[in-house]
Structure 1
Amino acid sequence: MKVLWRRALFAAGFVFLVIGAIGMIVPMLPGTVFLILAAWCFARTSPRFEAWLLNHRYLGPSVRRWQETGAIPPIVKLFALASFVGTLSGTWYFGAPPVVLGVEGAVFAALTVFIVTRPSG
C-alpha cells in the first residue's frame, strides 16, 4: 500500500509540474501554486525531482521563495483576489446552479483568508 501511495504521489507531482509550467505562460492559470504542490509531492517521493524543480532556472525561484518565507507578493495577492471575483461573477453570469456558486464561493472565501493572512514579500 505504501508503494502505491508513493507512486500516486509522484504521478500527482508530475501532473502538478506540467500544469504549473503551463501556468507560468498562460494568463489566469496560477502556475506557482501548482509548482509548490509539485515540490511538496516530490519532497515525499523523489528528492532528485524536488532538487531539479527547486534549481530550475525559470520554475524554481517562486517555489524557493515560498519555501523560505511563505510570503506572497502584494501584486500576486491582488491578482488572485481579482481572479476570484471574476471567476465567481462569470460563473453566476453563465447561470451555474446555486450549489456550484455556493461551493465556489466557499472555496474562494477560504482561499481569500489564506492569501490575505500570508506575509507580503
Structure 2
Amino acid sequence: MDVPQARPAAPEAPLDAPAAPRAPTGGRGRVFFLALGYVCVALAAAGAVLPVLPTTPFLLVAVWAYMRSHPERAEKLLAHPRFGPYLRDWRDQGAIPTRAKLLAIGMMGVSFGLVYATSDRPAVLWGVGVTLVCTGLFIATRPVPKAR
C-alpha cells in the first residue's frame, strides 16, 4: 500500500520582500477593477489641483484595482516620478514618510478648525473629530520608509 509523501514546505518569502502581485481577475471582475482604477486616477488628478480632495489615497486604490485588472497600468503608476516612490513604499513596507504624515495630520487639524468655526451642531463636531483623530492615529502609527 502506497503512503502519500508529504510535500516539502515552500520557502517563505522574507518579511521585507514585496507582496507577489495578484493574478488579474477575469470577466466582469476585470472590467469592474479596470473601471475603478480609471475612476480613482481621475479623482487623484482632480485632487492634485483641488485642495479639498486627496491624491495619494486614490492612487493607492488605483494601483490595487489595476493589479487585479491590468498589471501594466499598475506598474506605470508605480514608476511615476513623483508619486511612484510613495506608492512603492506603501505597497512594499506599509510606510508613510514623516513629511507626509505631518502634512496630513496638520491638514486634518486645519479641516477640524474649519468645521469647528462653521458648525454649531455638537454631533457634527464629535463625528468629524472622532473620525479625524482615528485617521490621524492610523497615519501616525505607520512606519517610516527604510532608506533605499
For 2:76 and 2:56, how far apart are their aligned partners in 1?
16
2:92 to 53, 63, 68: 68
Give the structure with higher Rg (CA).
2
**Which structure has more helix as a fraction of its residues?**
1
Q: Deviations over 1:5-59 (max 9, x none)?
A: 5433332221221222343455564322221111111112221221221123333
Residue matched to 1:32: 56
Q: Distance in 2 between matches of 1:91 and 1:108?
A: 11
Residue 70 of structure 1 and its aligned partner are, at CA, apart by 1.6
Shift of 1:79: 1.0
Say whether the 8 Å CA contact 2:47–2:55 is kept in structure 1: yes
Q: Which shifted more, 71-80 or 19-28?
A: 19-28
The answer to whether residue 127 in structure 2 is matched with residue 103 in structure 1 is: yes
Identity over the aligned pairs, expressed in percent? 32
* Alignment coverage as a number of residue pairs: 120
Instruction: Supply the AA of the counterpart residue of 2:82.
Output: Y
Unaligned runs of 5+ in 2: 1-25
- The answer to whether structure 1 residue 82 and structure 2 residue 106 are counterparts is yes
Q: Is residue 142 of structure 2 the alignment partner of residue 118 of structure 1?
A: yes
Match of 1:51 in 2: 75
1:77 Cα offset (Å): 0.9
Instruction: Give ranges in structure 1 of 5+ residues lacking alignment.
Output: none
The answer to whether 1:8 aligns with 2:16 is no
Does the aligned pair in 2 maintain the 1:9–1:41 contact within 8 Å?
yes
Call closer, same or farther: CA 1:5–1:96 in 2, change over 3 Å. Answer: farther
Superposed CA RMSD in Å reads 2.4
Taking a change above 3 Å as real, the CA distance of residues 97 and 59 of structure 1, as seen in their structure-2 partners, is: same
Cα deviation code 1:56-78 (max 9, x no counterpart): 33332221122122211111111
Q: Tell me the SS of whatever aligns to 2:110.
A: helix
Asked whether the equivalents of residues 24 and 32 of structure 1 are also in contact (C-alpha less than 8 Å), the reply is no
Instruction: Return the TM-score normalized by structure 1.
Output: 0.79
- After TM superposition, the score normalised by the length of structure 2 is 0.67
**Contact 2:119/2:125 (<8 A) preserved:** no
